[in-house]
Amino acid sequence: MKVPDLNFFLKTFLSLLIIFIICFVGILIGVLISEQSQNHGGNGVAVINIDGIIIDSGPYIKSIRKIRERDSVKAVVVRIDSPGGAVATSQEVYEELKNLGKIKPVVASMGTVAASGGYYIACAAPTIYANPGTITGSIGVIAKFASYEKLLEWAKLEVEVIKSGEFKDIGSPLRKMPEEEKAYLQTLIDSVHSQFKDVVSERRNLSEAKVESVSDGKIFTGSRAKTLGLVDRMGTVETAIAEARKLGGLSKDSWIAEYPVKKKTLADFIFPETLAERVIFTSSVKTGFGLYYIADVIY
């Protein structure tokens, strides 16, 4: 029997190792280049893309703060394609954008859907663009709770809950919600709804009566929203960018930088769109307790 050539295996292993190192270094260089791609010369417009369910404000706030510190960004477009999200998250992004607007011109552009929390954020901009068929509005608050009480009875399971106060396990799925809890949650929802209406009234310069008439959760097309005073102009994202360039005193061919900037990893080169990204940014499933500025539209 022929004995395997040790030198052959060693050479093969070293060759594969060298190829791997070359590929790794090439990918690393590509990552570094991608991170530097936002460093344009001259002045330009930053486009903040707010996509999907708004649950984590971190990436948006980080982007807004970077834009604030970047002197070469002379104007900002907030591109919204979202049915909304968590109340506090939407409010955080709104406040950061409103403060940014005191330093640089901010224009909002609505995509397919810019409803509820998405519309709340759009109100941070003095000027809102929408397409005629954009779905917007849904000025309201929602909280959903499921009850597994009947299922537990069917399965002959008993659950003991020890709590420090009457409302400590409010919204528990282990039992049907009593009327006292419903009434308490309604007060919370009404309070947060009032916060939404106050923002719309102030930012859109609409009377309380006018805002009340459009704040029952209804969704509107972009053209209808314009008639109601919720939107300023019809136009695409390109129209909004052209407006931002004008407000920032920029030329028609000035650069555009998009945010949040996603840092690429090795997995991004192997799998351009990972399953995790789809779950985070496109899933409409809401879990756990929370109040939401969100439109339950197909998205």
Residues forming the active site = 116, 168
* One-letter identity of residue 123: C
In 10 A of CB 197, how many CB atoms? 18
Q: Mark out the alpha helices in 131-232 (DSSP H runs).
A: 149-154, 179-204, 208-213, 222-228
Residue at token pair 């050479």 = 11
DSSP 150-178: HHHHHTT-------SSTTTTTT-TTSPPP
Contact 250, 20 (CB under 8 A): no
Contact 120, 199 (CB under 8 A): yes
50 has which bridge partners? 80
Contact 109, 80 (CB under 8 A): yes
At 242, phi and psi to the nearest 5?
A: -60, -40
Helices 87-100 and 179-204, axial angle in degrees (round to 10): 20
Eight-class DSSP state of 240: H
At 276, phi and psi to the nearest 5?
A: -60, -40
The CA-based angle 153-157-162, given to 5 degrees, is 110
**Nearest C-alpha neighbor of 210 from the set 197, 219, 222:** 197
Tokens of 277: 């990204």
Distances in whole angstroms, Cα of residue 141 to Cα of each of 144, 206, 293: 10, 20, 5
